[in-house]
Amino acid sequence: MEKKFKIRKDDTVEVIAGKDKGKRGTIVRVLRDKDRVLVSGVNIVKKAMKKRSQQDRGGIVEIEAPLHVSNVMIVCKKCGPTRIGYKIDGDKKTRVCRKCGEAL
């Protein structure tokens, strides 16, 4: 069964736990089966890559590793890191900030 996350691609998030605590970035990819998200510029790890073609260089490269979804929190423009609530207007369901009520 597909898991439902309140966080989506292109959301601005802040890391709330781990080695990159306090860093902000946008979500590049959501890995629903593993409960993880890929955030741009956060959780950079070094990985040994094999040379695949003439143009592709091998060696040690730095890539972004996935973070657990519980270690990131969405950022509201007004109040900073916050939780997400929902507001239903007729047949529309919109995500809102729990602190100030602004649409996210």
* Average pLDDT for 4-25: 91
Distance CA 77, CA 102 (A): 9
How far is the C-alpha of 98 from the C-alpha of 17, rounded, in Å? 20
Contact between 30 and 9 (Cβ < 8 Å): yes
Task: Please tell me the pTM assigned to this model.
Answer: 0.80
| pLDDT tens figures, 27-42 | 999 999 999 999 999 9
pLDDT at 24 over 80: yes
DSSP state of 65: P
CA distances from 16 to 26, 43, 46, 91 (A): 14, 12, 22, 33
- The model's pLDDT over 40-92, given as tens digits with 9 standing for 90+, comes to 999 999 999 888 888 777 889 899 999 999 999 999 988 889 999 999 988 99
| Domain extent listing, the chain | 12-51+58-97
Q: What is the CATH number of domain 12-51+58-97?
A: 2.30.30.30
